[in-house]
A and B are shown apart, each in its own frame.
Chain A
Amino acid sequence: MAVPGLPSSVSFQTSQSQMSTSHPITFHERIEDALGNAQLHTALNRATQRFATQRANGLASLPNADGIRDHARLIRAHTLSNLDRYIAQFAEAVEASGGHIHFAKDAAEANAICLEIAKQTGAKKVVKGKSMVTEETHLNDFLEQAGLEVIESDLGERIIQLAGETPSHIVAPAIHKTKEEIGKLLHQTIGAPLTDEPEVMTAAAREHLREVYLTADIGVSGVNFGVAETGSICLVENEGNGRLTTTAPRVHVAFMGMERLVPAMADLSVMLHVLARSATGQKLSVYTNIITGPRRANEPDGPDELHIILVDNGRSKVLASETAEILFCIRCGACLNACPVYREIGGHAYGSVYPGPVGSVLTPSLRGIENWPEMPHASSLCGACREVCPVRIDLPKMLVELRNQGDKAGKTPVWLKAGLMAYRTAATHPALFKLGVQMGQLGTRVLARAGWINRLPGPLAGWTNSRDFPQFPKKSFSQMFSQHGNAEKPRN
């Protein structure tokens, strides 16, 4: 679907490609697997609680954090309202600085552009920095099938690559692994000394990766923000791998979601005030790279070529939809760390590249609610995500909006729809409602022993899987109130 006002090169119909990490089993089976995985439980407990505490401390270090979050939200809202203009400005500035801009309507096109660049470069080896967009397009598989060697340089990403897995968190991809598991993995795969001390593992990984930077032909990275005014891209990271990936190889290819723009450098500063604090609690990430164009003639370092691939892959459709606000997201991961559901099941159980509250909105929005009807229901709507979001995205509101879209698309389970329709009939006819309460009194009396039911029938059995249900008292509130001394007679 075309977005009015967007340049034709970036408004297209969207890809129907799935965003799945191709799990053969159902959502509920994945959830049960996750809940039964003690190691996962340990890893998630350690990491999410540490992140949540660090985030709180990080924001507390910022005078007027609430005001800066409001400002950050305004910048995102303004940029997305004028995205066509800022994309055009950004593209022009990138070209003016000597870089090349490419527009990709979907995952297949983005991957094909990257492969074409690799072919022209004569590349054999690709080193990659962390990028969720390339997870979205499944770039690694695609390049490997074309005969290229792809090596992740972010330690978390490298760990899961060595383990043959996918990221389970948008900031900390290996969050589902304990340090003990990682120690074993690095020992078996890259010959690191067997240890559970992160410092020793990191030193071994550094040695292992150093060689890769020097021999890679292409560096592929993601982009945290593009600056429309200057054509710069900003990349935040903690390991220096981003800087090496984008400067050591001869060609740098940056994958960028088309919504990740800010108008000017001053706006970038506002976003950087909240990004690292929300993600890890850091005031700034250890490395904040701002890259404008490839190496210039008088510069000793940097790539000869810079290619920026601006990826739509469903975003222009979302921009024109009820859930457009999800494009405000700056991928800090705070909503994952705060989410009580994510803390229990981790990222893989969602079955989507983007997990947690943001994923439960983003994936059905990008890929269609008809393909992802269950994801928005993986939330108790507790609102913890909205509370921590640096740009104040109303995630619960959009989860409910998507549930409504699913309902309209006929995705509410038959038993539930029938139940809600019956409940609606009762709740709009007070006499029927009273009768329903009386039936509840009778029904729960039949099922209860000593006042409690430990096994409810039918779909309600979900409740009694983990808790008892009380017998209804003999009298309802209406009955008690009508016998109450001070009760005023109702007017009708």
Chain B
Amino acid sequence: MKKANLFVTCIIEAVRPEAGMAVVSVLEKLGWQAQFDPAQTCCGQPAYNGGAWDEARAMARHTLDVLARSEGPIIVPSGSCADMIVHHYPELFAGDAKYGPLAESIGQRTFEFAQFLADEIGMDEVRTRLHPQFSGAVTYHPSCHLLRGMKIDQQPRKLLALADKAEFAEMPNANECCGFGGLFAIKMSEVSGAMLARKLDNIAQTQAQTVVGCDVSCLLNISGGLHRRGAACETKHLAEILDS
């Protein structure tokens, strides 16, 4: 089996490990063995976005050191963390003789999960190997850093369409932010809550029972809102659908 490295993200590590295990399983079905270095922690994005760049750089150096020990593609089941590694690490380490070039080279072999499947493995091969059995009404939330940071839009939609027993409905204004924004959800909780309410209203209009996304952080926000409302709707990472 070919080998791929998993950067699982801190939030999957702690809050949604089943999403990470689904990624491992999907990769195996596609002929890739997932390698996981348990020394990995957090990419540092919360500190970077919060403006605390000294802290962010320390976490980024640790992540780069860990990833540098690997060979081959690095799969990140999060558009946001992938965006951090691919786009913001080179900015953070511009002019750094050691970590600048390392950030560039790691960035070149780092892929978001849906991107790796659709663009690197290829939809033709994925289609022959994956036959997800998931059924029910679903909608898709395009997370901001996946969509506008990594510019990944159609890949997860095509992959979700492989679950041909599921009924898909597009939510209104799907591309609008769910209000998560990392520390924004805590520091600006009033506005964040209002943005979430709008997202939940849009989800409700689809009558979906499952909201699918590629960022567990946004799904954590959405599922917390759905639970607060008592809505009969849950959230799943795309990998969990593909692994069904």
CA distance A441 to B145 in the complex (A): 28
Provide the residues of chain A in CB contact with B17, threshold 8 Å.
Answer: 473, 475-477, 479-480
- Does A384 touch B at the CB level, under 8 Å? yes
Contact, CB under 8 Å: A384 / B53: no
Contact, CB under 8 Å: A423 / B49: no
Interface positions, chain A 35-56, Cβ under 8 Å from B, are 35
0/1 string, B121-163, CB within 8 A of A gives 1: 0000000000000000000000011011100000000000000
Pick from B95-103, B111-119, B185-193, B203-211 the stretch touching chain A.
B185-193
- Report the minimal beta-carbon distance from B156 to chain A, rounded to whole angstroms: 17
Contact, CB under 8 Å: B41 / A426: yes
**Cross-interface CB contact of A416 among B10, B62, B180, B183, cutoff 8 Å:** B183
Contact, CB under 8 Å: A400 / B48: yes
**Cross-interface CB contact of B177 among A382, A426, A481, cutoff 8 Å:** A382
CA distance A459 to B187 in the complex (A): 8
Provide the residues of chain A in CB contact with B78, threshold 8 Å.
Answer: none
Contacts A403-B49, A420-B47, A491-B69 hold; do A380 and B186 have CB atoms under 8 A apart? no
- Report the minimal beta-carbon distance from B237 to chain A, rounded to whole angstroms: 12
CA distance A378 to B192 in the complex (A): 10
CA distance A383 to B181 in the complex (A): 11
- Does A344 touch B at the CB level, under 8 Å? yes
Contact, CB under 8 Å: A420 / B177: no
Return the chain B residue nearest A454 by Cβ. B228
- Report the minimal beta-carbon distance from A305 to chain B, rounded to whole angstroms: 47
Return the chain A residue nearest B9 by Cβ. A477
CA distance A481 to B34 in the complex (A): 10
Contact, CB under 8 Å: B38 / A490: yes
- Does B110 touch A at the CB level, under 8 Å? no
Provide the residues of chain B in CB contact with A403, threshold 8 Å.
Answer: 49-51
Provide the residues of chain B in CB contact with A492, threshold 8 Å.
Answer: 39, 69
Contact, CB under 8 Å: A386 / B148: yes
Interface positions, chain B 11-43, Cβ under 8 Å from A, are 12-18, 20-21, 24, 28, 33-42
Contact, CB under 8 Å: B195 / A400: no
Return the chain B residue nearest A409 by Cβ. B51
Contact, CB under 8 Å: B15 / A383: no
- Report the minimal beta-carbon distance from B230 to chain A, rounded to whole angstroms: 10
CA distance A400 to B181 in the complex (A): 12
Pick from A171-179, A223-231, A246-254, A464-472 the stretch touching chain B.
A464-472
Contact, CB under 8 Å: B35 / A488: yes
Interface positions, chain A 442-492, Cβ under 8 Å from B, are 452, 454, 459-460, 462-463, 465-470, 472-473, 475-482, 484, 486-488, 490-492
- Does A390 touch B at the CB level, under 8 Å? no
Provide the residues of chain B in CB contact with A462, threshold 8 Å.
Answer: 185-187, 189, 192
- Report the minimal beta-carbon distance from A4 to chain B, rounded to whole angstroms: 22
0/1 string, A347-377, CB within 8 A of B gives 1: 0000000000000000000000000000011
> What DSSP secondary structure best describes chain A's contact surface?
helix
Contact, CB under 8 Å: B196 / A400: no
Contact, CB under 8 Å: A404 / B53: yes
Contact, CB under 8 Å: B191 / A378: yes
Contact, CB under 8 Å: A380 / B228: no
- Does A240 touch B at the CB level, under 8 Å? no
Contact, CB under 8 Å: A412 / B189: no
Contact, CB under 8 Å: A424 / B55: yes
User: Which interface class (under 10, 10 to 19, 20 to 34, 35 or more) fits A?
Assistant: 35 or more
Provide the residues of chain B in CB contact with A426, threshold 8 Å.
Answer: 41
> What DSSP secondary structure best describes chain B's contact surface?
helix
Contact, CB under 8 Å: B179 / A380: yes
- Does A117 touch B at the CB level, under 8 Å? no
Contact, CB under 8 Å: B224 / A469: yes
Contact, CB under 8 Å: A468 / B181: no
Contact, CB under 8 Å: A430 / B38: yes
Contact, CB under 8 Å: B186 / A460: yes
- Does A387 touch B at the CB level, under 8 Å? yes
Provide the residues of chain A in CB contact with B12, threshold 8 Å.
Answer: 477
Provide the residues of chain A in CB contact with B14, threshold 8 Å.
Answer: 437, 440-441, 472, 476-477
**Cross-interface CB contact of A378 among B49, B51, B179, B188, cutoff 8 Å:** B188
Interface positions, chain A 127-176, Cβ under 8 Å from B, are none
- Does B94 touch A at the CB level, under 8 Å? no
Return the chain B residue nearest A466 by Cβ. B193
- Does B176 touch A at the CB level, under 8 Å? yes
- Report the minimal beta-carbon distance from B188 to chain A, rounded to whole angstroms: 6
**Cross-interface CB contact of A340 among B33, B47, B59, B177, cutoff 8 Å:** B177
Provide the residues of chain A in CB contact with B35, threshold 8 Å.
Answer: 488
Provide the residues of chain B in CB contact with A440, threshold 8 Å.
Answer: 14
Provide the residues of chain B in CB contact with A468, threshold 8 Å.
Answer: 224, 227-228
**Cross-interface CB contact of B194 among A35, A387, A402, cutoff 8 Å:** A35
- Does A32 touch B at the CB level, under 8 Å? yes
- Does A379 touch B at the CB level, under 8 Å? yes
CA distance A454 to B225 in the complex (A): 11
Contacts A382-B148, A404-B51, A427-B41 hold; do A341 and B227 have CB atoms under 8 A apart? no
- Report the minimal beta-carbon distance from B110 to chain A, rounded to whole angstroms: 18
Provide the residues of chain B in CB contact with A405, threshold 8 Å.
Answer: 51
Besides A32-B190, A424-B59, A478-B13, 20 other A-B contacts (C-beta < 8 A): A31-B191, A344-B195, A378-B188, A379-B181, A380-B144, A382-B144, A404-B52, A407-B50, A416-B183, A423-B59, A428-B59, A463-B186, A465-B189, A465-B193, A466-B228, A469-B220, A473-B18, A481-B20, A486-B24, A488-B33
Provide 20 A-B residue pairs closer than 8 Å at the C-beta atoms, listed in order of the A residue: A377-B184, A378-B188, A380-B177, A383-B145, A383-B147, A384-B177, A403-B49, A404-B53, A407-B51, A412-B52, A440-B14, A462-B185, A465-B190, A466-B196, A470-B224, A472-B14, A477-B20, A478-B13, A480-B18, A487-B36
Q: Closest 6 A-B residue pairs measured CB to CB?
A: A403-B51, A380-B181, A466-B193, A462-B189, A467-B224, A382-B177
